[in-house]
Structure 1
Amino acid sequence: MILKNVLLTLSLSFFINKNNAQSNKPNIVILFADDISAREFPFYNSSTWSKPPQGGDTSDLKYRAKTPVLNKLAEEGMYIKTVWASTICGPSRAMMMTGRYAHKHKWWHNSDKGTYINEKGKEKKNVPLYETSPHTISHVAKAGGYATFWAGKTQMDVEGFEFDEACFTPGSGIGSANTSNKYTDFKIVSTKVPGKKKRVLINEDTGVEVEYYQQFGWYWKPQVELMNHPSSKKKLEWWPNTKESKKEYGLHTYGPDVELEFIFDFMTRKKKEDKPFFIYHTSHLGHDGWDFFSSDINKETRNKWPGTPKIKWENGKYVRTDPKITGDAGVYDTHNTVTEGGIHNHINYLDYQVWQYMNKFKELGIEKNTIFIFCADNGTSGYGKGSIKQQRGTHVPFLIYAPYLKMTKKGEQDILANLSDVLPTIADVAGVKIPDSYEINGKSLIPYLTTGTNDFRDWVYSYHKDKQLIRGQKVLIDGTGKAYDVTKNPDDLISFPVINNWDNMTKGFVKENTMLNNVLPKYNLHDTEHDAPKVKEKVEPLTLKTN
């Protein structure tokens, strides 16, 4: 091993006792997958899903994910039929971490973020989330007395958040964007080549020029950076960082495994300290990545989703084959220990990791005192990622398994929700009050989950640069301005009828369409308020709720 081995008022008041004792609070784990549409998960019952090597639609059962653990959690816990994210990862992560939409946090797209005035009075690009939205999900958790851990993908400067420790894959911490881990050459880097005017991308492992995007490998032989780990000598340190870990690190080291072992190490330590923990696990699984084990560099035929370690579900448990990989410089033998490429295998591995989580909760004796949330950041690459059409880019899986909450809801929930709802939900669980003067666009799920109400949201909203999407109970308006009738769920979760003539629609449709179009101007500020305010807003502090 890498590290060596009710009523709403009643349910909320239980989260904090008279002395605000932290040990009574439930642990919280968010597993946030990358680029995976709801349709990819069997429990959403879609008639189509994505196929390897480059994506697209298929109904071939060979490429359908197998998720026995998530299926069971969806049945015993609850999952929401329609949850929206943003259309692409950066803005979705901003929505998750701030509980706000782009008109407040200013992350309109990965390549379209607002400017801000730094502490030296200079205007800078790419405003950090904590500059526009200081009450992030990490600050909420810390205010509630939680020990906090961030694992996996960051895509942002981590310095201003309130995470105690972290394991970044690849390293994306303070100042590390321009450096790399010396223990791995699994990198696609931008390089100046003699005789060429433009920089080119080189696979450092082979020295061959490739058509891709710059990346530091996060799957096999990953680039890993630790933050504030007990084994580290400084705040941020490249891993492997000990004699033992350096000896064990190699081609067989799989980034998602590394993340989980550091998470479990943190959970174990905090359990011994009788300290509730908040885990923000932003997995790379689902995201495309360069397949360093394959010699195929052809853009049309290469694996979009590199293989994972082989796993097998049998007799109610997973059996994992230890990876064995040999070779170098692009010529490798995986000895039949690695799966073929495909997003279905990434989802299968996520299911395996959820099984590991559940086992770890039982081992630590916290299975009834932990809230587990599973979701993803946007639609699948090659199908929905970046799309403003229908809900291709926005429709993501969302599951909550929480025996602690004594939920009144079970199985599929036919409501509307989006990722902004996570932060206020965490605030309710943590017993944290967000100031009334601080705009939050999300809505806590706790009242819905723990009472008899069947109502939640009248509409959900999303954004993509200057484009807006919105959906109600009857009408969906996508980023192209087309309207759809969403009263019936199509087999593929996407083929809604287009509304071409409003004269043919009932008064209910017309009324909702008017309501949705009245909502949009409030958030349609891309062109008029694109950047962070020149003067930072005064923000009241987070406080603990009292009985």
Structure 2
Amino acid sequence: MKTSKKILLGSLLMMLSFSMEAQKKPNIILLYADDISARELPIYGSDTWSLPKGGKLKGGDTQDVKYRAKTPNLNRLAQEGVFVKTTWAATVCSPSRAMMMTGRYAHLHKWWHNSDKGKAPNGKGSWNLYDSSPHSIANVAKAGGYATYWAGKTQMSIAGFQFDEGCFTPGEGSYNKEIHTTDFRLETRKETGKKKIFNADTGKQLTQKSYVQSGWYWKPHVQLMNHPDSKEHLEWWPNDKASEKEFGLNTFGPDVELEFIFDFMERKKKEDEPFFVYHTSHLGHDAFDFLHPDSGNKWPGTPKISWDGKKYTRTAPNVTGDNGVYDTHGTITEDGIHNHVNYLDYQVWLYMNKLKEMGIEDNTIFIFCADNGTSGYGKSSPVSQRGTHVPLIIYAPGLHMTKKGAQDVLVNISDMLPTIAEIAGVKIPDSYEINGESLIPFLTTNKKKHREWIYAYHKETQIVRGDLVMKDGNNVWYDVSANPTDLISFPKIKDWSTVSEAHRKERDELLGIIPQFNLHETAHDAPKGGYGKVAPLEKK
């Protein structure tokens, strides 16, 4: 990308606006939630959201406020910072995470869908992101002088990314393997020549539909990477007598992640080193409910929390039992994605308290977003923007932003990497293709628009929209010039003579953009020899 005068001005404003007392660069925390549509957050004003899917409930859409999330802290950050009305990711986890990690679309990194990844140059296995796109989000932060930490879900090989430390739930390689720390996992076993899925906790075969998984919520699988108290590069936790004594049915994976993140932040603050935290929370993702194995729950409950208008109070979990028969003693919520969103809000509150306690709130940029639409509603859907429309909140009290509150602009998840590069003072070489665009010029100048169009992909299909029209993965066109109350029911364009000339002009412009990315059929796999030598990152 070529550096414009506006980008240079934005960089200058950013450098001048941050406090230089403790360190030269702002800390960055990127909280990347899992399978949460924008409509699940009240700040987006949707009149419809998702039902739980367990017990007597059948899932689907609802307008019942009982199942609407309550997010007082995310609401505050969105109003005091900014939140973007239309942010797109890809339609499902792996390609969205690839977009986030690389700042590129699938025509380059070749992760077209969860089960549709291009082969590596040698023709064996899928192409690792750090090989297809060596200037990853971690490498960019590292080049900018940041200590880097990755916590939560990985869904990819971690070896080639420049993260200094990590806390993974479940850890890399935990699928379908017996990990000594916990039996909360689903595993395959062969019976009469056929593979079947069993609950390792009960020893019973599953009667409901599910997939092989290690537990990442209650009694989770946790793996540490390069923790200073660990003896190995990757080590299963609990890893000493103290943690083994505390670990058990009342251990909640998202809590463990945050404890290790805070430990990392404190250590880097003492070392006077700026940090980048990449927190890929599982919250929002459906999972097998080991505490209620026969319930069919889609989103296992979280510890109970309550908000009194100023602070959260968390009820300490009290779970007893064994072998699939458990009593939660009323300390854990019912299932439902709204409870996951609520718990994310609680964790954001903890983040903000920690930043204040450490005296670094004004020198930290906090970003909240998600990887794709809600499971059962948008996840893996090419229809309209069901799968692609995700929340995005940016809170940076030390950055003198020229924007505040709701922003009716277009943003893509690929924009996070170049934004972080600019914050870190790192120049991505012009010869290295990046599809994302830095948000800093929009946030810090009088620039009115961020992007003219946004793009996403779903396997071999292309999804694209501008300010007026959108084409989904089924080649259906919509008029998106006004936002419907449910954020999704845009009028379909069946007769182009019924819309304005501006609509038709934008359609033609979008059709001209698609061919450069529509390479699923002609360049599905990595080119032989890869992309060749890549110019290094540079400090600005």
TM-score by length of 1: 0.94
Count of residue pairs the alignment pairs up: 526
Q: What is the CA deviation profile of residues 390-410 of structure 1, one whole-angstrom value per residue up to 9, with x for unaligned ones?
A: 000000000000112111100
Asked if structure 2 preserves the Cα contact closer than 8 Å seen for 1:187 and 1:203, the reply is yes
Task: Write out aligned runs for 1:315-330 (5 A).
Answer: 315-330=309-324
Inter-partner Cα distance in structure 2 for 1:350 and 1:249 = 22
Instruction: Give SS of 2:261's match.
Output: helix
Whether 2:144 is the aligned partner of 1:144: answer yes
Asked if structure 1 preserves the Cα contact closer than 8 Å seen for 2:177 and 2:187, the reply is no
Whether 2:57 is the aligned partner of 1:62: answer no
Task: Write out aligned runs for 1:314-393 (5 A).
Answer: 314-393=308-387
Task: Write out aligned runs for 1:45-56 (5 A).
Answer: 45-53=45-53, 55-56=59-60
Asked if structure 2 preserves the Cα contact closer than 8 Å seen for 1:55 and 1:381, the reply is no
Per the TM alignment, residue 36 of structure 1 is displaced from its structure 2 partner at its CA by: 0.4
Q: What is the CA deviation profile of residues 159-212 of structure 1, one whole-angstrom value per residue up to 9, with x for unaligned ones?
A: 00000000000011xx5556442110100111112x2x3200000111111131
Of 99, 105, 109, which aligns to 2:103?
A: 99
- Cross-structure match for 1:512: 506
Per the TM alignment, residue 15 of structure 1 is displaced from its structure 2 partner at its CA by: 6.1
Inter-partner Cα distance in structure 1 for 2:529 and 2:7 = 39
- Cross-structure match for 1:200: 196
- Cross-structure match for 1:235: 233
Of 251, 254, 268, which aligns to 1:253?
A: 251
368-377 or 401-410: bigger deviation: 401-410
Per the TM alignment, residue 12 of structure 1 is displaced from its structure 2 partner at its CA by: 1.7
Inter-partner Cα distance in structure 2 for 1:519 and 1:55 = 37
Of 438, 454, 472, which aligns to 2:466?
A: 472
- Cross-structure match for 1:544: 539
Q: Which amino acid aligns with 1:158?
A: I
Asked if structure 2 preserves the Cα contact closer than 8 Å seen for 1:15 and 1:430, the reply is no
Instruction: Give SS of 2:112's match.
Output: strand
Inter-partner Cα distance in structure 1 for 2:328 and 2:220 = 16
Q: Unaligned 5+ residue runs, structure 1? A: 1-5
> Percent identity among equivalent residues?
63
Instruction: Give SS of 1:192's match.
Output: strand
Inter-partner Cα distance in structure 2 for 1:102 and 1:123 = 18
Q: Which amino acid aligns with 1:544?
A: K
Q: What is the CA deviation profile of residues 210-266 of structure 1, one whole-angstrom value per residue up to 9, with x for unaligned ones?
A: 131000000000000000001110100000001100010000000000000000000
Inter-partner Cα distance in structure 2 for 1:471 and 1:105 = 22
- Cross-structure match for 1:216: 214
Instruction: Give SS of 2:265's match.
Output: helix
502-511 or 77-86: bigger deviation: 502-511
Asked if structure 2 preserves the Cα contact closer than 8 Å seen for 1:388 and 1:480, the reply is yes
Q: What is the CA deviation profile of residues 263-307 of structure 1, one whole-angstrom value per residue up to 9, with x for unaligned ones?
A: 00000000000000000000000000011111425xxxx210000
- The 3 A distance-change label for structure 1 pair 447 and 411 is same
- The 3 A distance-change label for structure 1 pair 185 and 144 is same
Inter-partner Cα distance in structure 2 for 1:315 and 1:423 = 35
Inter-partner Cα distance in structure 1 for 2:6 and 2:270 = 32
Inter-partner Cα distance in structure 1 for 2:107 and 2:88 = 17
Q: Which amino acid aligns with 2:282?
A: H
- The 3 A distance-change label for structure 1 pair 294 and 427 is same
Q: Which amino acid aligns with 2:292?
A: S
Q: Unaligned 5+ residue runs, structure 2? A: none
Q: Which amino acid aligns with 1:112?
A: D
Q: What is the CA deviation profile of residues 39-81 of structure 1, one whole-angstrom value per residue up to 9, with x for unaligned ones?
A: 0000000010000125310000000000000001111000000
Instruction: Give SS of 1:327's match.
Output: strand
Inter-partner Cα distance in structure 1 for 2:203 and 2:284 = 27
Instruction: Give SS of 1:75's match.
Output: helix
Per the TM alignment, residue 495 of structure 1 is displaced from its structure 2 partner at its CA by: 0.3
Q: What is the CA deviation profile of residues 454-512 of structure 1, one whole-angstrom value per residue up to 9, with x for unaligned ones?
A: 11111100001101100011001000000000011100000000000112221101100
- Cross-structure match for 2:442: 448
Inter-partner Cα distance in structure 2 for 1:245 and 1:181 = 16
Q: Which amino acid aligns with 1:374?
A: F
Inter-partner Cα distance in structure 1 for 2:104 and 2:10 = 25
Q: Which amino acid aligns with 1:515?
A: E
Q: What is the CA deviation profile of residues 367-403 of structure 1, one whole-angstrom value per residue up to 9, with x for unaligned ones?
A: 0000000000000001000000000000000000011
Q: Which amino acid aligns with 2:536?
A: P
- Cross-structure match for 1:3: none
Asked if structure 2 preserves the Cα contact closer than 8 Å seen for 1:231 and 1:242, the reply is no
Asked if structure 2 preserves the Cα contact closer than 8 Å seen for 1:170 and 1:222, the reply is yes
TM-align CA RMSD: 1.6
Q: What is the CA deviation profile of residues 431-471 of structure 1, one whole-angstrom value per residue up to 9, with x for unaligned ones?
A: 00000000000000000000011111111000011011000
Instruction: Give SS of 1:245's match.
Output: helix
Asked if structure 2 preserves the Cα contact closer than 8 Å seen for 1:8 and 1:451, the reply is no
Structure 1 residue runs of 4 or more that deviate by more than 3 Å after TM superposition: 6-11, 13-17, 175-180
- Cross-structure match for 2:168: 168
- The 3 A distance-change label for structure 1 pair 295 and 442 is closer
Instruction: Give SS of 1:209's match.
Output: coil
Inter-partner Cα distance in structure 1 for 2:500 and 2:520 = 33
Q: Which amino acid aligns with 1:183?
A: T
Of 386, 405, 414, which aligns to 1:411?
A: 405
Inter-partner Cα distance in structure 2 for 1:482 and 1:402 = 38
Q: What is the CA deviation profile of residues 80-99 of structure 1, one whole-angstrom value per residue up to 9, with x for unaligned ones?
A: 00000000000000000000
Per the TM alignment, residue 315 of structure 1 is displaced from its structure 2 partner at its CA by: 4.0
Inter-partner Cα distance in structure 2 for 1:14 and 1:459 = 26
Asked if structure 2 preserves the Cα contact closer than 8 Å seen for 1:15 and 1:25, the reply is no
